[in-house]
Amino acid sequence: MPGEHRSAENEGVEVVLDMLRSEGNRVTTSRRLLIRCLIEAKSHLTAEEIADDLERRAPDIHLSTIYRNLDELERLGVVSHSHLGHGPATYHLSTKVHGHLVCEDCGVAIEAPDEIFSQLALEIMEKHDFTIDTHHFAVLGRCGPCQSLLASTDPASKETSR
């Protein structure tokens, strides 16, 4: 294909597409673009942002096709979503799935490796016979800079901190 160069991103797209093919699933233009969009994504994308990106790349693809394919890829286990706060869900490739720590003040999302939840997961399993899903929802709280900001602007928080 002219203009198509083999980059790490292209390789990644092919790996995911091969996975789909090997399970007998169709690989369509919109699925290919969708997966590429998620591989190239530098931040967390909502369904609407993904649809915008695909519409720019391929204006002939119908919006409903994009949303349907996002659903289908999620059902096939290739894509998964998580809720980072009060807004709409965001989408990841399932191979890039991870937990999130989200600041309620500034909204920053810190990616959290599964290991940091392992002790908590073990304890909840032992005490409550319950398996926690560390990916679906974010752990909300306050990031370092926002903690400092609060401490410097709110004298009451200094008094109560010790």
Q: Which is nearer to Zn ion, 34 or 103 (CB)?
A: 103
Q: By CB under 5 A, tell whether 143 contacts Zn ion.
A: yes
151 contributes a contact to Zn ion by CB under 5 A:
no
70 binds Zn ion, rule: CB under 5 A = no
Spatial distance between the Cα atoms of 134 and 31, rounded to a whole number of angstroms:
27
Q: Of 110, 124, 146, 149, which one interacts with Zn ion (CB under 5 A)?
A: 146
Closest CA to 80 of 99, 69, 95, 94: 94
Quote the tokens at residue 70: 């996002």
Task: Provide, rounded to whole angstroms, the least separation between the CB of residue 108 and Zn ion.
Answer: 5
Contact pick of 20, 33, 103, 138 for Zn ion (by CB under 5 A): 103
Site for Zn ion contains 106 (CB under 5 A)? yes
Q: How far is the CB of 43 from Zn ion (least distance, A)?
A: 9
Contact predicate 69/28, CB 8 Å: yes
Residue 106 or 122: which CB sits closer to Zn ion?
Answer: 106
Print the binding letters for residues 12-41 with Zn ion: x by CB under 5 A, - otherwise: ------------------------------
Positions touching Zn ion (CB under 5 A) are: 103, 105-106, 143, 146
